[in-house]
Structure 1
Amino acid sequence: MKKKAWAIIFFAILTLGSSVLISKNVEDTLIKSISIVSAIGIDSSDEGYEITLQMINTAAKPDSAGEVPGSIIYQQSGRTISQAIKNILNRNPKKIFLDSAELIVIGEQTARERGIHEIIALFLTESEISTSIKIMVSKDYPASKILKTITPAEKVSSKRINDIVHSNELNLGSVASIYPVKVMNELLRNIKEITIPYVTLSSDKEIGSSQDNISSPEPEVLLIINGMAYFKKDKLAGYLTRDESKIYLGLINSTKKTTVETTCGSDDQGLFTIHIKKSKTSVKPVYKAGMLSFQIKRKVKGELFESTCRKDDLYHLESQTEAYLKNETANLIAKSQEENNDFLGFLKEVYLRNPYTFSDISKRWKELYPEIPVEVEVDLKIEDIGDVNRIP
């Protein structure tokens, strides 16, 4: 009886082990038979579009030596995006797996001259591409150069870009992830100009696309993601600085956490930093005597993160920060009105709060927007001074 029981156990273990071994072999065979796309770059070419596909190099293990590239780049042109991708398919013996792509980078020239509407429309209708893919535009460099850059910490630049964006959202607050569905919704509704994160490089040196870039402790070329780009219709119009992007994301309530650095006052050359933990902004259309204006109220809570002020009077620091945020907000509004580009979303607030008056106002918005008065109020409370600032 015992021999029979042991035989059954042995047979079960043998079967389980064989299943695991077979499954692993099947998985390895499958991985080797497909090309896993991590990012898609879109630039313009004389023919039409130039597409760059960044693919995971399955031969490079996560803990392997730096000389093994983490990604392989395929690049082809075509009259359309789909044709360019098919041209890559014709030159790659493996099946290309697009559903794994995490990032789309649209080149600056393409976004500025051709627009992004047809690009977004294609990726929303393409069943092989996930709708959760993130979208960015490049600054100063083509998308292909961004994706070819060899980065430290991560073997694949698209992974590095996503990590930087995630860290920025949680700490700096000058970038917010954007997806194709949101972009298309805003393009179709046409009540707010779109904004998309942008990525650039610290240098144009060619070493950035070689393994030599990460052979030293200080790489010569780094990926930089500091802010948001804004559009007019579907064409790139400009870039917001890091500080402008912080203010913008605070206005549209897309800030998780951020920091504010400003001076201690006119008679004190020191600086201090407030770590903003909570922020809530309301933008309200106001109608008076037939005239439209807007009232912005922002409530902020944070902690004193660092200070070199001679005297850390919390009330004074709160007042200084409020004045700084109010001034920076007014400057950003002025920039938006000077360019007659409502990427801040004032018309959207009219649509949401006063739908009955929206139709009439939207027809005259181009004439109204540059001159519309906007009142800004900021209420900031420092709720914590941090452990270091408690030291006498």
Structure 2
Amino acid sequence: MRRLALLVIVATTMLLSGCWDYLELETLSFAMGAGIDAGPDDSLVLSVETLKVEGGQPTQMTPYVTKAPGLTMFNALRNLTNLTGKQMFFGHSHAVVFSEEYAKRGVGNAVGFMQRDVGIRTNTWLFVVRGASAEDVLKADAPLGTSVGHYLDRVMQVQHRNPTSIPIQIWEFNRALSEEGLRPVLPAIELVEIDDSKVPMVEGCAVFKQDKLAGWLDAKDARILSYLRSREVTGVIVTELEFKGEVKRVAAEVTWSKVKLEPKWENEEVRLDIQFNLGVDLHEIGFADFDYSQPDLKRILEEGLARQLKEDTEHLMHTLQKELESDVLGLGNLVKKKMPSHWRKLQRDWEREFSKVPVTVKVAVLMTETGTLAKPLKGRL
């Protein structure tokens, strides 16, 4: 009996030892980011940012970019493996950048491959670069000497503090493609020169119709869109106020907020009511003698900040409805959930219906804090 048990244990150990699909580290190249540019005849060029590790004290890791063409992304990835002699490992990849030209052709096939491939994480950030190639972005100078992929990941992680774009991951883009009444949007990148270096700046958004690039939103519009999609106002609001014949800037940080989007059916059409309620903390004021401790002057500040947010929201809605005609706000999705019977009548031509929806914006601002100063400093120049 003991011999039989020992034989079973030995046989089981032999079957369980080792991994059938293991990969040696020496055969892998660790990707930090990727870029996709348009090639001739509907082909593409795949660029990958990896790290070159050099010995010494301390160990030096230098980002470098390798590229290969392909008829599809999977084909380009295999061509890249043949070029480098190593298999690309995307387990540490943070970002994928599409060029403007490639995004106009349609990014659906590439994003679908990323969702399907087990080696690519679906929480990887997606971007579209404006006025440059995706390869140029990966070869740009990342602040603090990090890789571009790692830098873009950090920028997305802090967007909630002062949004200038809308962070979108692979799974979120694919969900937007499949949902009715919602168009996809991706953060936009522009290369800017800072001290003789080209740095990828994330500002604004790329707006899509289906999987094709339709246009752009600037940083101000992207900020408002972020508020409406997340139902939360964050960051800083800056406006200009006139007082005693002077015009100065005022900056306040949002401390709490409630954002409500309410679609209604009136007079045989959809209407949209947008309501902002928020509290702010005053941080900067350009006037030396503006005593914000006085109720009347405090009200002027609150009304000025509310007016700025209202104007910015109305500008965004005009851009989406009249210029881009793309419902990246997700109003159609709200109508579908709250008024399904009306949605069945509107869904066939929703883009045209969306462009005609009357929008009402209401904003209420309450200044709850003024920092450590209850009154302005006297004698300030």
TM-score by length of 2: 0.85
Which structure 2 residues correspond to residues 123-272 of structure 1 after superposition, within 5 A?
A: 123-167=114-158, 169-203=159-193, 218-253=195-230, 255=232, 257-265=234-242, 267-272=245-250
SS at match of 1:158: helix
AA aligned opposite 1:371: K
CA distance in 1, matches of 2:24, 2:256: 47
Going from structure 1 to structure 2, the CA distance change for 1:290 and 1:153 (only over 3 Å counts) comes to same
- How far residue 317 of structure 1 moved from its aligned partner, in angstroms, is 0.6
**Which residue of the partner structure matches residue 370 of structure 1?**
355
**Which residue of the partner structure matches residue 43 of structure 1?**
37
143-152 or 68-77: bigger deviation: 68-77
**Which residue of the partner structure matches residue 316 of structure 2?**
332
CA distance in 1, matches of 2:189, 2:316: 21
Q: Is there any run of 5+ residues in structure 1 with no aligned partner, and where?
A: 1-28, 204-212
Asked whether the equivalents of residues 306 and 389 of structure 1 are also in contact (C-alpha less than 8 Å), the reply is no
Q: Is there any run of 5+ residues in structure 2 with no aligned partner, and where?
A: 1-22
CA distance in 1, matches of 2:343, 2:55: 56
1:73 matched to 2:65? The reply is: yes
262-271 or 238-247: bigger deviation: 262-271
Asked whether the equivalents of residues 60 and 70 of structure 1 are also in contact (C-alpha less than 8 Å), the reply is no
- How far residue 370 of structure 1 moved from its aligned partner, in angstroms, is 2.2
CA RMSD of aligned residues (A): 2.2
- The structure 2 residue matched to 1:322, chosen from 306, 316, 330, is 306
* Deviation by residue 1:272-316 (Cα, 9 ceiling, x = unmatched): 001113332211111223232111111122211111134132211
Going from structure 1 to structure 2, the CA distance change for 1:316 and 1:326 (only over 3 Å counts) comes to same
Going from structure 1 to structure 2, the CA distance change for 1:358 and 1:60 (only over 3 Å counts) comes to farther
CA distance in 2, matches of 1:62, 1:181: 40
SS at match of 2:135: helix
* Deviation by residue 1:120-178 (Cα, 9 ceiling, x = unmatched): 111001111111111111111111100011323033111112222223x1421122321
CA distance in 1, matches of 2:213, 2:187: 12
- The structure 2 residue matched to 1:283, chosen from 255, 261, 264, is 261
AA aligned opposite 1:378: V
Which structure 2 residues correspond to residues 350-389 of structure 1 after superposition, within 5 A?
A: 350-387=335-372
AA aligned opposite 2:150: K
Going from structure 1 to structure 2, the CA distance change for 1:93 and 1:371 (only over 3 Å counts) comes to closer
Going from structure 1 to structure 2, the CA distance change for 1:248 and 1:229 (only over 3 Å counts) comes to same
Give the structure with the larger strand fraction: 2
Question: What percentage of aligned pairs have identical amino acids?
Answer: 19
- How far residue 336 of structure 1 moved from its aligned partner, in angstroms, is 1.3
AA aligned opposite 1:73: V
361-370 or 191-200: bigger deviation: 361-370
1:306 matched to 2:284? The reply is: yes
Asked whether the equivalents of residues 166 and 187 of structure 2 are also in contact (C-alpha less than 8 Å), the reply is yes
**Which residue of the partner structure matches residue 12 of structure 2?**
none
SS at match of 1:86: helix
CA distance in 1, matches of 2:56, 2:263: 56
TM-score by length of 1: 0.82
Going from structure 1 to structure 2, the CA distance change for 1:155 and 1:237 (only over 3 Å counts) comes to same
1:92 matched to 2:92? The reply is: no
SS at match of 1:153: helix
- How far residue 245 of structure 1 moved from its aligned partner, in angstroms, is 1.0
SS at match of 1:302: strand
